[in-house]
Amino acid sequence: MTRYPRDMTGYGATPPEAHWPDGAKIAVQIVVNYEEGGENNILHGDPASEAFLSEIVGAAAWPGQRHWNMETIYEYGARAGFWRLHRLLADVPVTVFAVATALARAPEQVAAMKDAGWDIASHGLKWIEFKDMPEEEERAQIAEAIRLHTEVVGTRPRGFYQGRASMNSVRLGAELGFDWLADSYADDLPYWERIDGRDHLIVPYTLDCNDMRFATPQGFNSGEQFYEYMRATFAELYREGEEGRPRMMSIGLHCRLAGRPGRIEALRRFLDFAQGHEGVWFATRSQIADHWAATHPPMAKPRPSEMTKAEFVSEFGGIFEHSPWIAEAAHGLELGPTHDTARGVHSALARVFRTAPDDKRLDVLRAHPDLAGKLAQARRLTPESANEQSSAGLDALTDAERAAFEDANARYTAKFGFPFIIAVRDNTKDSILAAFERRIGNDRETEIAEACRQVERIAELRLIDKLGA
């Protein structure tokens, strides 16, 4: 049995209605990353200098050495860039992704964040790479980040964004009790993630509407490009909101990047553009998290990919008529959260059916009852088949209609050796009889292929009944 942990479906084609406050068409969430003073530096006990997200694109870490230019670029963010952003955004709801050790070295900036009423979330203990850090060490660092953040700010951080995350970061953040987690770029809406048997709220972040692209190859090389990208993103999401599908737009800023005078004008222009629209909710991440938790709390639902084999077969063994072997084999496929839907389970079951030997597939066809036949009259159909035949009125035929069905059944079965199969719910009595006459003219190979398609459609409809569309 193989299980694939990634969810490649999410909300799918029909995401939930966000119900933003006051009927807003879009939620705009601005993040100011405060990392200056928490970056890699041998002064901080790190093995090398910082090399990431600065004016020196492609910089290398210097093992055992300080990097004067890099240090002063970061210092600019704290000394000048922060205040430029603060002046522009003081009256805008902002979430700060704050590195705890950087906060401890920035009492003036912390006071300004608090005076502005900004939402100060945890950005970890240090602004370093975590991908190779042992789990116990990372757990201890996050716990220390919470302690130090609380000591410096006066309140415990509600949200967590590690940034240069490991495969353990999100799980550890959930374990350590944050209200929301942001180490995800997987959606335009918040969503609930199942972590260690509990639901945790993810408020996804962005790496595209993010000034970090000023410091990456093929990123933004002018404020105009940054503005235009934010404007286009807002325009599309606002249009989707007008069409009844409101989304969330995240914007990521860094004091040492967007805080430069040649770049902040792009942010100013964007704010003017966005604030010129009606129905725009500027919000902090904690406000969005609170809204989502109240409006879209986690819902208990079947999780087929987490079922034991016995549970899976008990639940889905009858989806293909009298053929539990299909569910038994499907349980052994690579399943995951993306299969925890009607179409997800159907995909797994259909794969087994399609690749089965011809004789096994014929057994499935022969397991289906005649339409309006003797089993129906004797009330010996499976509940699924009984409901399906009833949906088209096949349980209430006139004598003439019954005679027509019996004649069609007899001719069809005599020719092909298995009963006529059709997804009754997609049809009426008249269209079923018309299909009888049309399909009885098929050759055997063509008709077996058509009957198999109908079997798969019947299975799909049964799963939608069981799990929802």
Question: Which residue(s) pair with 63 in the sheet?
Answer: 48
Residues 6+ apart with CB under 8 A from 446: none
Active-site residue identified among 149, 254, 291, 368: 368
User: What's the CA gap between 444 and 114, in Å, rounded?
Assistant: 76
Residues 6+ apart with CB under 8 A from 131: 164, 165, 166, 167
Question: Which residue(s) pair with 194 in the sheet?
Answer: 199
Three-class SS of residue 428? coil
DSSP code at position 80 = I
Three-class SS of residue 334? strand
Q: What angle do CA 262, 50, 264 make, to 5 degrees?
A: 15
Residues 6+ apart with CB under 8 A from 387: none
Catalytic (active site) residue 368: yes
Three-class SS of residue 221? coil
- Cβ atoms of 182 and 161 within 8 Å: the answer is yes
- Cβ atoms of 425 and 457 within 8 Å: the answer is no
User: What's the CA gap between 242 and 377, in Å, rounded?
Assistant: 53
* Amino acid of residue 382: T
Catalytic residues: 368
